[in-house]
Chains A and B, each alone.
Chain A
Amino acid sequence: MFRRTLSRLSWVDLFLRAFQLVAAVVIIIGLVNTFTTARYTSGQWATLVFSGLAQGSIYALIALGYTLVYGILLMINFAHGEVYMAGAFSTVFLAIHFARTGFLARSPLIAIVILILFSAAISTTIAVLLERIAYRPLRNAPRLIPLITAIGASFALQYTFRGLYGTQFRAYPDIAVLKGTWNILGFDVPLVQLVVFLAALGLMVVLYWYVERTRAGKAMRAVSEDKAVARLMGIDIDKVIVSTFALGGALAGAAGVFNGLYRPQGVFFLMGFFPGIKAFTAAVLGGIGNIPGAMMGGLLLGLIESLGPNSVLEGLGIPATNQLKDAIAFIMLVLILIFRPQGIFGERLAEKKA
């Protein structure tokens, strides 16, 4: 019995098993070392956890855009990071205006809702235009072609916005109501992180309800299952695809404002690139095409990035750990893809493609 199993394992499998074991051991050694030295207080760990969750929920919102589009068109919309940038960058000017006129200080809640709606509107417009101009003419082309187009569209958008708003960095204004901290389980958590996390969670719940419980959502799922049959059932495929892009765009736009609340600085025309790549990673981590997967993938990535350098790497005695923050996120991606190629929540892609 044992011998038969052994003979079925190829060298590649053996290597992967060994690699998994080594990776797990290294991570555990790192964690044990860090926690036995007790360099950080529990309050400091809590800070990292909550900032990781806030960051992760922003990744998750962007990741949903990747995953929705992939679910329907089986293409990676690499320009999605730019859709996020479009909303965040355009809205910063409105936010600064609100701050100058005092509107933001007088009725912050209404102001923030307006900012979110404005940003979502801009991002939605960009996403819909992107679909109409760059992707629809290529819908039946080989799959590599829309991918390259997406990269081209990404540059086109970046430099369009550079032309529109210039190369300077902007910053969202400080919002006084979001300044304080809340006490959760004895830890002081910055209010803004909690608000961002909960608001993003709320949006994700709404999205899940929309896709699972409404007619439009049902149509979306039908198109994702089989376009030809969906069309025979009287579903307007183009409309569904446009609404998918619009939905992804709206979430990205909202993420842009959440990012502005959570981390006001550094709004400029290239700001979409890294979050875009990270969110794509999150989507793959969770299982691309899967909505709860994108949410969990985003949160997980946020936590890994925030906790990884201080917990695992530092325990291993690696110098300049914080410069390796991005590396750790992508190494995690590699590890998870080795352990579970379809992602955490993913279905087997082979069936879907057929």
Chain B
Amino acid sequence: MSKRLLIPFSLLIIASMVLAACAGGATTLECTDAIGCVEVAPGEAIHLAYMLTVSGATATLGDDSVGAIRVALNDRPEVLGHSIELTGEDSGCSAEGGQTAGTKVAADTSVVAIVGTNCSGAAFAALPTISEAGMLMCSPSNTNPGLTDPEGGWLPGYYRTAHNDKFQGRIAAEFAYNELGARSAATIHDGSPYAQALQQVFADTFAELGGTITFQGAVNVGDTDMRGILTTVAADGPDILYFPIFEPEGNFIVAQAAEIAGMENTILMGADGLLADTFPENSGENVVGVYLSGPYVSGETYDAFLAKWAEVVGGVPPSGFHAFAYDCTNMILDAIESVAQQGSDGTLLIGRQALRDAMTATANFDGLTGLLTCNEYGDCATGEALAVFQITEAELGGGWPPAAIWTP
């Protein structure tokens, strides 16, 4: 650098230091949090983000959650005098999508908390990045047991309002064994952490109850021809086939099962991944009679929520996890409210560790899905908001949602 430029540059640096000092002097807040703080300047919005699957075959899951977040933010447009800004990334329903969305969201240091992801596979990939960045994520629909198990992939900053598969797999097996009287069962998963864990819990519980598991197989995401695996299933002629997977593979299984000799007397049962308004029509006629286990919320507050949904989003929720997303959003807003330090000029200082601690300390939170209490590994679900549904002609004709026929 030439000497002529040195003086103006030095002056510039000194000036900026002075200015920075002055700006800092206006607030009396100081960040003492172990993993850093988010500062929200007066008049600026508190930044929430979502990482959900808003495109592709599983978009109904994501749209369902995004709608619920919008309803929640419509209920509480301001927290401590600050409006709330919601941005989002499409995490898809895959590890790659979760990784990309996680990296993008974590790069934006103004993000306070995240609602997401929908799929367990995406959560496993996104969580390390999010946790490292000091943020927290609250999932409305991750059900894989590992996510809230320190041995299985849990990391600080992870919370969920969705029920752990340990609940869902168990009630599905109990329903199959006790209510349907099934004594032999086969399962199919798609290699995703969600499906793999769920069918395993189902199989273990079913065997525990006294049933026989004839076959536990898998298909690939993207497979279109299920006749091979269905033929394998048919060879043992089980009473029930449990396939807790997603669309469109689930559609193919339902449609093609009709063609396979030996499958006539096998009951088909899926799980919440298929509990979407597109499932009956995309599966065709054979879908009538298929059982699905999935989230089930009812009651007055839920009806009020549906009315708000119709007003804010329009129509009815396309899938089953909206109530969980609504609860996640409200729990996050409550936590922000309880830990944020307010400066005299309206600046907010949100300590990231403090926020996590507040989430973990959530107890008897009166949500749509019940009274939620989080454990130290972020599992906040009650496990009660579940039911078994049966698809009828009405759903094939475009009606939604199906009626719950059994609750544990």
Contact = CB atoms under 8 A, between A and B. Distances in A.
Interface of A: 39-41, 43-44, 47-48, 51, 55, 167-171, 174, 188, 190, 263-266, 268, 274, 305-306, 309-310, 314, 320-323, 325-326
B252 interface: yes
Given A47-B260, A168-B59, A322-B218, A263 B235 contact: no
Contacts of B229: 309, 322
Contacts of A174: 284-285
Contacts of A41: 261-262
Size category, B interface: 35 or more
Given A41-B262, A47-B260, A325-B228, A264 B255 contact: yes
B287 to A, nearest CB: 11
Contacts of B224: 263, 265-266, 274
A320 B260 contact: no
Interface stretch (B72-80, B100-108, B136-144, B275-283): B275-283
A322 B256 CA distance: 15
Contact of B252 (A55, A188, A266, A321): A266
A274 B221 CA distance: 12
B227 A190 contact: no
A306 B228 contact: yes
A321 B232 CA distance: 10
B68 to A, nearest CB: 20
A48 B57 CA distance: 27
B217 interface: yes
Given A168-B59, A306-B227, A44 B248 contact: no
B184 to A, nearest CB: 16
B222 interface: yes
Contacts of B219: 322-323
Nearest to A193: B259
B259 A169 contact: no
A169 B228 contact: no
A169 B251 CA distance: 11
Nearest to A55: B225
B247 interface: yes
A326 B140 CA distance: 34
A167 B285 CA distance: 24
B232 A266 contact: no
B223 A310 contact: no
Interface string B204-240: 0000000000000111101111111101101100000
Given A48-B227, A48-B231, A265 B262 contact: no
Given A265-B252, A265-B284, A169 B247 contact: yes
B231 A264 contact: no
A314 B225 contact: no
A148 B21 CA distance: 56
B59 A47 contact: no
Contacts of A51: 225, 227, 259
B56 A167 contact: yes
Contacts of B251: 169, 171, 265-266
